[in-house]
């Protein structure tokens, strides 16, 4: 009897299937295990994760490494997605002084326009002057309100107030006149004095209308048509804010900086094509499909996209110890997205959402790295190690262990870095494809579009549903239903959007409403998973027509996501395809398909 371990090295996880073989058949599936992949898939850094996963599976079965007869590995193709996210569309950054960070509690209401003056200048001003007062950090709110009221009593036309501390409401409530007050300006010392400025605060529950409109800013500051073009990024950065400040800087201080987007050249077996990145993701993907299968992708020298692609090659060259010239990009997935771009000159961390294209790139390496992994495992463990086959082919073997399946059958293996598709016909012919882009890219899009700067938090938002804590005793789930609690909830989650993770509530440290976060999450999944599902199945359909595929089984870690399976099923229903999540060996759900297939591939050797 031979004890065989199938090891599936994925971008996110490494999975093991342990089984006994005798007389060219499986006599028993013992157990399985799953651990986080160590290092980038398909490199020597994977070995510690492989060993841990093997040890876990063996321990569950009551065995040791000495009991293993053979370890069978998949041919792991690296996919670089986390290193391929850049703002690569044309970006214009207007360098002027503006504030619009949307503090949660601005004071007063309305639009005020006047010259900026420091707090200490108020006593020397004459009546009738329209001014915006700038109050530094060391002034108490009661003292500030008293001096401001004295200025109003002398006839000073106080139009608005800019405050360093969180005192806007406290000051506004003590003034004799209702004026807009914006607070929490962290770099208040950089607000220029003696310049024309506009301050706007909207009613509670509403957003500003004048300073988020380029023509509104033009009206306030009497701008020419040329100058109005320059303030568009300022207006865009202020859209949706309840409060804002814009200061007119001296002539010459306003500058525009253009970052060229560049173009990419896609080399395919059907020819080559150039495509400008500014054309957007749809045009890029149309070009990819026109020349596919892809042999290599290169970017225009001196542009962001070139730097992105070259960095991917450089990373893989260093990890696999292969020559840089041998690193070929065999597939890319382009997705339209938005990236928060810092507006130069802002005084409170202002950002404008700029159009961007996210790219996931798959690097084609030789078989050498996998052979290095196999050799080192043989040396370290003293067990025979075989590189058994391509992931998609192994996944279809594993998928066929799902109860109720039979040939012909297609599978979609949706993992962390790649989407694989394969189809097996009645006469045992297998067609497969390996494409870039899956769960990791979705996480990147969420992280970028919500401006989180926290990959782990974005991963949780991707994997778990949301809720809004509306009181200390109830929450409203993202589907609108309400859940009540007998014990009060932790105070730190009150009035926050939270992630419902493993029975706990994880507050999201951002001001985005629940609907916005949910929309970003779902759109990111559709743009990656649905796009790649249709793209990959079209490639493997024997006739080239996706409508000629009847049955599809979803496997892989991302297929277990609480909404991805339904999204893909709905999308494929338009093509009259029956689709559902797999249940590998009737017990593993959609996971462990490749590892199970690797074990079953041992039968080919015995035959």
Give the helix/strand (H/E) hosting 258: strand 256-259
CATH number for the domain formed by residue range(s) 1-76+366-403+587-607: 3.30.420.40
User: Is the predicted pLDDT of residue 86 greater than 70, yes or no?
Assistant: no
> How far apart, in Å, are the Cα atoms of 570 and each of 279, 540, 559?
28, 20, 14
Residues 219/55, Cβ–Cβ less than 8 Å:
no
Residues 145/174, Cβ–Cβ less than 8 Å:
yes
**3-class secondary-structure state, position 60:** helix
Which tokens hold the place of 261?
Answer: 């987007």
What is the C-alpha to C-alpha distance for residues 216 and 237, in angstroms, rounded to an integer?
14
Nearest Cα residue to 42 out of 86, 6, 73: 73
DSSP secondary structure, 152-177, as one string: HHTT-EEEEEEESSS-HHHHHTT-SS
CATH match of 405-582 with 3.30.420.40: yes
Q: Percent of the chain scored above 70 by pLDDT?
A: 90
Confidence (pLDDT) at 90? 43
Q: For the chain, give the longest Cα–Cα distance.
A: 102
What is the DSSP-derived secondary structure letter of residue 530?
Answer: I
The rounded Cα 405 to chain-centroid distance in angstroms is 34
| Comma-separated ranges of CATH 3.50.30.70 domains in the chain | 96-254
**pLDDT, tens digit (0-9, with 9 covering 90-100), for 307-328:** 778 878 887 788 777 788 888 8
* Average pLDDT of span 503-524: 93
* Average pLDDT of span 390-414: 90
pLDDT band at 250 (very low <50, low <70, confident <90, very high): low
User: What is the homologous superfamily of the domain 258-364 according to CATH?
Assistant: Coenzyme B12-Dependent Enzyme linker domain (3.90.470.30)
DSSP secondary structure, 319-372, as one string: HHT--GGG-EEEEEEEEEEEEEEEPTTBSS--EEEEEEEEEEEEEE--SHHHHH
pLDDT band at 189 (very low <50, low <70, confident <90, very high): confident
Confidence (pLDDT) at 78? 61
* Average pLDDT of span 536-561: 91
| Comma-separated ranges of CATH 3.30.420.40 domains in the chain | 1-76+366-403+587-607, 405-582
- Asked whether the CA dihedral 22, 24, 27, 31 is positive or negative, the reply is positive
* Average pLDDT of span 560-587: 94
pLDDT band at 337 (very low <50, low <70, confident <90, very high): confident
pLDDT band at 260 (very low <50, low <70, confident <90, very high): low
What is the C-alpha to C-alpha distance for residues 595 and 385, in angstroms, rounded to an integer?
14
Confidence (pLDDT) at 87? 47
Least confident of 89-93, 181-185, 344-348, 398-402: 89-93
What is the C-alpha to C-alpha distance for residues 239 and 224, in angstroms, rounded to an integer?
22
What is the C-alpha to C-alpha distance for residues 220 and 319, in angstroms, rounded to an integer?
56
User: Is the predicted pLDDT of residue 548 greater than 80, yes or no?
Assistant: yes
Which tokens hold the place of 76?
Answer: 């792991």
**pLDDT, tens digit (0-9, with 9 covering 90-100), for 51-81:** 999 999 999 999 999 999 999 998 866 665 4
CATH architecture of the domain formed by 96-254: 3-Layer(bba) Sandwich (3.50)
What is the C-alpha to C-alpha distance for residues 567 and 412, in angstroms, rounded to an integer?
13
* Average pLDDT of span 103-107: 83
Confidence (pLDDT) at 36? 94
What is the C-alpha to C-alpha distance for residues 37 and 414, in angstroms, rounded to an integer?
16
| Comma-separated ranges of CATH 3.90.470.30 domains in the chain | 258-364
**Strand blocks (E) in 61-195:** 70-75, 79-80, 91-94, 98-99, 110-118, 130-135, 157-163, 181-182
What is the C-alpha to C-alpha distance for residues 110 and 201, in angstroms, rounded to an integer?
5
């Amino acid at each position: 009897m031979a004890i065989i371990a199938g090891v599936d090295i994925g971008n996110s996880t490494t999975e093991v299937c342990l089984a006994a073989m005798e007389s060219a058949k499986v006599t028993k599936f013992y157990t399985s295990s799953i651990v986080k992949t160590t290092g980038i898939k398909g490199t020597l850094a994977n070995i510690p994760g492989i060993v841990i996963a093997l040890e876990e599976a063996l321990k569950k079965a009551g065995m040791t490494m000495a009991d293993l007869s053979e370890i069978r590995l998949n041919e792991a193709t690296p996919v670089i997605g986390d290193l391929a996210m850049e703002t690569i569309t044309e970006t214009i950054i207007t360098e002027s002084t503006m504030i619009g960070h949307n503090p949660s509690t601005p004071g007063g209401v309305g639009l005020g326009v006047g010259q900026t003056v420091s707090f200490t200048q108020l006593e020397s001003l004459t009546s009738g002057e329209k001014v915006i007062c700038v109050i530094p950090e060391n002034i108490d709110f009661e003292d500030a309100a008293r001096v401001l009221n004295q200025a109003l009593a002398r006839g000073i036309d106080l139009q608005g107030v800019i405050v360093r501390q969180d005192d806007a409401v406290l000051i506004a409530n003590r003034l004799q006149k209702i004026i807009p007050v914006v607070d929490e300006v962290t770099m208040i010392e950089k607000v220029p004095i003696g310049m024309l400025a506009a301050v706007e605060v909207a009613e509670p529950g509403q957003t500003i209308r004048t300073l988020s409109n380029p023509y509104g800013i033009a009206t306030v500051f009497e701008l020419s048509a040329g100058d109005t073009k320059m303030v568009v990024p300022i207006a865009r950065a202020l859209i949706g804010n309840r409060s804002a400040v814009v200061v007119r800087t001296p002539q010459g201080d306003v500058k525009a900086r253009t970052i060229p987007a560049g173009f990419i050249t896609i080399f395919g077996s059907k020819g080559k094509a150039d495509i400008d990145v500014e054309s957007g993701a749809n045009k890029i993907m149309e070009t990819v499909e026109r020349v596919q299968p892809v042999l290599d992708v290169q970017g225009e020298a001196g542009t962001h996209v070139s730097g992105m692609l070259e960095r991917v090659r450089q990373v893989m060259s260093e990890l696999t110890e292969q020559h840089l010239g041998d690193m070929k990009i065999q597939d890319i997935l382009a997705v339209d997205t938005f990236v928060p771009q810092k507006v130069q000159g802002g005084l409170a961390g202002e950002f404008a959402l700029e159009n961007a294209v996210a790219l996931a790139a798959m690097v084609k390496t030789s078989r050498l790295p996998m052979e290095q992994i196999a050799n080192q495992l043989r040396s370290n463990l003293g067990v025979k190690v075989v590189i058994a086959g391509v992931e998609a082919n192994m996944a279809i073997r594993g998928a066929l262990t799902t109860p109720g399946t039979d040939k012909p059958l297609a599978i979609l293996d949706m993992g962390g870095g790649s989407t694989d598709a394969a189809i097996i016909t009645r006469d045992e012919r297998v067609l497969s494809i390996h494409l870039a882009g899956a769960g990791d890219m979705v996480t990147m899009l969420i992280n970028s579009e919500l401006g989180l700067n926290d990959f782990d938090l974005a991963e949780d938002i991707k994997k778990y549903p949301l809720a809004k804590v509306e009181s200390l005793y109830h929450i409203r789930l993202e589907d609108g239903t309400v859940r009540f609690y007998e014990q009060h909830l932790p105070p730190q989650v009150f009035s926050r959007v939270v992630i419902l993770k493993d029975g706990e509530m994880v507050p999201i440290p951002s001001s985005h409403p629940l609907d916005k976060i949910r929309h970003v999450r779902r759109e990111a999944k559709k743009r990656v998973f649905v796009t790649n599902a249709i793209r990959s199945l079209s490639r493997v359909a024997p006739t080239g027509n996706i409508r000629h595929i009847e049955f599809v089984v979803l496997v892989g870690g991302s297929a277990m996501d609480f909404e991805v399976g339904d999204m893909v099923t709905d999308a494929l229903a338009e093509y009259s395809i029956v689709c559902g999540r797999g249940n590998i060996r009737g017990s593993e759900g959609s996971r462990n398909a490749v590892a199970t297939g690797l074990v079953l591939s041992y039968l080919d050797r015995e035959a």
